Structure 1
Amino acid sequence: MISIQQLSKTYTSKEGTVVGVDDVSLSINQGEVFGIVGYSGAGKSTLLRCLNILERPTNGKVTIDGIDLMSLSSKELRKARQSIGMIFQGFHLTMAKTVVENVGFALKAAGVGRVERKQRAEELLELVGLSDKANQYPAQLSGGQKQRVSIARALANNPKVLLCDEATSALDPNTTQSILHLLKKINKELGLTIVLITHEMEVVKEICDRCAVMEQGRVVEEGDTYDIFANPQNELTERFIKTVIDFTIPEALLKKTQGTIVLLKFTGELAGEAIVSDLLQEHRIRGNILHGKIDYIQEKPLGTFVMELKGDEQEVNRALASLGATLGEVEVIENDRSTDYTMARAE
């Protein structure tokens, strides 16, 4: 559906050449929600604007639904953009127009007649849950309601792709959840491909089928969202995931422990099985949960547990070997009194 090939975007400033996007290649499938996550300045918003040529790439190729956007004339590009909706962090609504007029603005620009324009705008307002706000003005709306108007406006021309640039960053957590729920609904009901830019890994966890992590203009990790949460390969990705799933144990608590401290991850169906309790009984060792959480990503469970294991050293080692064979990975947290603690994978 969307193919990005060796795309770069550079700027010239008084200090020299600034690289916004550096040789990025990505493929985004029809009907999926694809997240691009990174800290401020990572290049993610620049990459997004290159997808509809609001920023013209310096090098590379952007193909959407089989159309090479870089090869289009200005007139052809304007027409192609009608199939690419876009919403922003700042809403970008016209304050002097009513809600229904804001939604119909894109239709007016596309040459749609007044009666048809009003009918389509009203349909979209019903879709986003704002039928009762049609004749109000943006200043009368909450932040979440303004973003719903922006979404309705972006859908006016029946786009195949919806680009979301930090669409929830200005919203409180409850409103963010409602907007993400709406985007999920739109994705499923309309079959829309959604590309979502964010610096919040919680947003990726909630809505994205796949994602890419960016740093300094480059993609440093890409893949299925569940796999990335379960087994991150890049240090930056790990830092992002810790903002959602944090298993750090306070040093004061570690100093009180006397047994072997282990970090366990349970993926898929294993998260719902009594693996640990069975092993404790089998090896006659005791276990104390210091931290435990099960998250659901793409409706699949991912369990993270930190436990203290007590008992005969040989039995503890046998239990760790059994856990490693079952889970694929077990980490032993070794308490180092002088330098907090480090992690080492159990053999």
Structure 2
Amino acid sequence: MIGIQNLTKTYKTKHGTVKGVDEVSLTIKRGEIYGIVGYSGAGKSSLLRCINLLERPTSGTITVDGTDLTSLKGEELRLARLKIGMIFQHFYLISQKTVFENIAFSLKAANYPKGQIKERVEELLATVGLAEKRDVYPAQLSGGQKQRVGIARALANNPKVLLCDEATSALDPTTTKSILNLLKKINKELNITIVLITHEMNVVKEICHRMAIMQEGRVIEEGSVYDLFASPRAELTKEFIESVVSFDVPEAILKNCEGPIIKVTFKGKVAGEGVISDMLQQCNVKGNFLHGSIEYIQELPLGIFIMELKGQKDEVKRALQYIEDRAAQVEVLRDGR
């Protein structure tokens, strides 16, 4: 659906030329929700704006639904952009216009048939759950309601792609969840491909199918959200994941541990099985649970546990092997005394 090949975007500053995006290549599949994650300055916003050519790449190509956007100009580019909706962090609604008029404005700008505008706006208001707010002004809306207007406006011209630029960063957690649920509904019912940039891993965990981690303009790791949560490779990926799935054990607790301390990761249906309890019955060891939880990502369980094993070395070794044969990953965090 979206092909990004060797994309580079440079900016000229008083200190010289800076690369905002550095040789990025990505493939985003039709109908998926794809997250681009990074801290401020990582290049994710520049990359997003290049996808619809709000910023023209310095080099490389952007292909959307089989069309090379980087080869288009003028009217051809304008028409191609109609199939790419965009949602912004700060809403950018016209304060002097009602909710109805804000959405209608997008349709008029795209030369939508005048006789069909009213019906289309009312359809969009129903989709985002704001039918009763059609005649109020932005100042009378909550942040979540403003973003729903922004989503309706972005959907006005039946886009195939929806770009979300930190769409929930200005919202409280409850409102964020409602907006993410709306985006999931839109993705499922309209089969719209969604590209979402964020620095919030909770957002990615909640909604995205696949993700890319960006640092200093480059993609340093990419894959399914589930796999990256289960087995992150890059240190920055681990840092982001630990911001939502933290397994820090207080040093005061660790000082009292004598046996090896292990971190066990269970993937898929194995996460719900009693592998550890079975191991304790099979091997002559005792287990001391220090931390653990089961996370659900795309409705699939991911179990992560930290525990101390106590027993003779050969029995501890046998216990580790028993778990390794049934778990996705076993990491020895600290050897026994």
SS at match of 1:326: coil
1:133 corresponding residue in structure 2: 133
Question: Structure 1 length normalisation: TM-score?
Answer: 0.95
Compared CA separation, residues 191 and 328, structure 1 to 2 (3 A)? closer
Deviation track 1:176-209 (CA, whole Å, cap 9, x = no partner) reads 1100000000000000000000001111111111
Contact 1:255-1:335 at 8 Å conserved across structures: no
Summarize the alignment of residues 173-212 of structure 1 with structure 2, pairs less than 5 Å apart. 173-212=173-212
Amino acid at match of 1:271: A
Question: Structure 2 length normalisation: TM-score?
Answer: 0.98
- Distance, in Å, in 2 between the alignment partners of 1:210 and 1:80 is 25
C-alpha deviation, 1:335, in angstroms? 6.9
Counting matched residue pairs gives 337
SS at match of 1:269: helix
- Distance, in Å, in 1 between the alignment partners of 2:101 and 2:83 is 20
C-alpha deviation, 1:112, in angstroms? 2.2
C-alpha deviation, 1:39, in angstroms? 0.4
2:87 corresponding residue in structure 1: 87
Contact 1:294-1:303 at 8 Å conserved across structures: yes
- For the pair 1:260 / 2:227, whether they are aligned, the reply is no
SS at match of 2:295: strand
C-alpha RMSD over aligned residues: 1.3
Amino acid at match of 1:232: P
SS at match of 1:256: coil
SS at match of 1:281: helix
Moved more, 307-316 or 218-227: 307-316
- Distance, in Å, in 2 between the alignment partners of 1:81 and 1:227 is 33
1:147 corresponding residue in structure 2: 147
C-alpha deviation, 1:310, in angstroms? 1.8
- Distance, in Å, in 2 between the alignment partners of 1:226 and 1:182 is 21
- Distance, in Å, in 2 between the alignment partners of 1:215 and 1:110 is 36
Amino acid at match of 1:226: Y
C-alpha deviation, 1:216, in angstroms? 0.3
> Runs (4+) of structure 1 moved beyond 4 Å?
none
Compared CA separation, residues 336 and 39, structure 1 to 2 (3 A)? farther
- For the pair 1:242 / 2:255, whether they are aligned, the reply is no
2:15 corresponding residue in structure 1: 15
- For the pair 1:41 / 2:17, whether they are aligned, the reply is no
Amino acid at match of 2:93: L
C-alpha deviation, 1:168, in angstroms? 0.4
- For the pair 1:118 / 2:111, whether they are aligned, the reply is no
SS at match of 1:148: helix
Deviation track 1:288-327 (CA, whole Å, cap 9, x = no partner) reads 2111110111111000001122223321121012212222
Moved more, 46-55 or 321-330: 321-330
C-alpha deviation, 1:213, in angstroms? 0.4
Deviation track 1:202-237 (CA, whole Å, cap 9, x = no partner) reads 111111111100000000001111111111111110
C-alpha deviation, 1:328, in angstroms? 4.4
SS at match of 1:327: coil
- Distance, in Å, in 2 between the alignment partners of 1:248 and 1:267 is 21
Amino acid at match of 1:163: L
Moved more, 248-257 or 191-200: 248-257
Contact 1:103-1:153 at 8 Å conserved across structures: yes
SS at match of 1:152: helix
